[in-house]
Amino acid sequence: MWRKIFGGGKHTPVSDEGDLPSRSIIDRSTMPRHVAIVMDGNGRWAKERGDSRSAGHEAGARTLKRIVRAASEMGIEVLTVYAFSTENWKRPHREVDFLLNLFDSFLEKEIAELHAEHVRLHFIGRRDRFTERFLHRMEEAEVRTANNTGVHFNLAANYGSQDEILRAVRSLAARAAAGEIAPEEIDEEVFSNTLDTAGDPPVDLFIRTSGDLRLSNFLLWQSAYAELYFTDTHWPDFTPEELAAAIEDFAGRNRRFGGLSAEE
Ligand code: FPP
């Protein structure tokens, strides 16, 4: 059971399994602070069952709920998931509408529970193509959960990393042109804090489900030294146990950040 390998997060609820072990296999020093997930494979999951793509997305939403809760219990600081890319507008209207309605009802139904579980919700991506109603719900959810101290849950909606980087470049260029910042003051930290993920640590563990081996324009700057974990599991079948397995795998990686390992 995945709970057995973690010391538990700040808000670990009391579970049926009794107290968590005092000595855990994964300790704070080997725990990823920021986990990013490309939730791929809803369509393939549904197809394998002879079901509609919509049913796959609905199952994906249920998985997301379980994974956010597990991430919070495990003590992950930041969880960023890719829900809708700037390129996903190319999908058939029917599927786009279905996904946007699903996000809207997810927010409506789940926000109270997420809030009660201390989750801090934040949206990353462009906000210029959503309906007023959805924008309002997004902002309301962000304001309501802003002071929560549990997992920081970033939902990437209408997000593309290249678009995010360009928006940051334009904003810094405008500030430089206005004399508010000197070009030589723009360093990695300033740039990171101009992105939608401002204030978050860089991605430590980047997970992609459903077998494809690519980054798909997700968190390219933030993942400069991320460890990559690919699994064939379709997103609806992804479990807290598999998240725990990815974290255990991460804990065994030798991260050198361009330097040498301690023994060397
Ligand atoms: C990729 O599967 C998934 C998406 C483009 C949408 C992600 C959405 C969810 C996980 C639904 C829940 C999200 C929220 C925020 C409620 P795909 O459709 O590309 O699958 P395929 O590659 O097998 O066709």
Ligand 1, atom nearest to 236 Cα: 10
Provide the pLDDT for residue 9.
Answer: 52
pLDDT at 256: 82
pLDDT tens track for 155-167: 999 999 999 999 9
- pTM of the predicted structure, to 2 decimals: 0.92
At 237, the amino acid letter reads: D
Give CA–CA dist 71/77, Å, rounded. 8
**Nearest residue by C-alpha to atom 18 in ligand 1:** 43
Indicate if 88 belongs to the active site: yes
**Residue closest to 39 by CA, chosen among 160, 246, 208, 161:** 208
Model pLDDT for residues 124-183, shown as the tens digit of each residue: 999 999 999 999 999 999 999 999 999 999 999 999 999 999 999 999 999 999 999 999
**Residue 252, SS3?**
coil
With H, G, I as helix, E, B as strand and everything else as coil, classify residue 198.
Answer: coil
Helix (H, G, I), strand (E, B) or coil at 193: coil
pLDDT at 15 over 50: no
Place of tokens 């072990």: 21
Please list every protein residue whose CB sits less than 6 Å from any atom of ligand 1.
39-44, 57, 60-61, 64, 83, 88, 99, 102-103, 106, 155, 210, 235
Phi-psi group of 54: left, alpha or beta (phi > 0 → left; psi -120 to 50 → alpha; rest → beta): alpha
- Rounded to a whole number, what is the largest CA-CA distance in the chain? 59
Which CATH class name applies to 29-93+160-250? Answer: alpha beta
Closest protein CA for atom 10 of ligand 1: 60
Residue 250 token pair:
């991460």
Q: Would you call 108 exposed, middle or buried from its count of C-beta atoms within 10 A (0-12, 13-18, 19+)? A: exposed
Q: To which H or E segment does residue 156 belong?
A: strand 152-159
Spell out the residues 6+ positions from residue 218 whose beta carbon is closer than 8 angstroms to its own: 36, 38, 82, 85, 156, 159, 161, 206
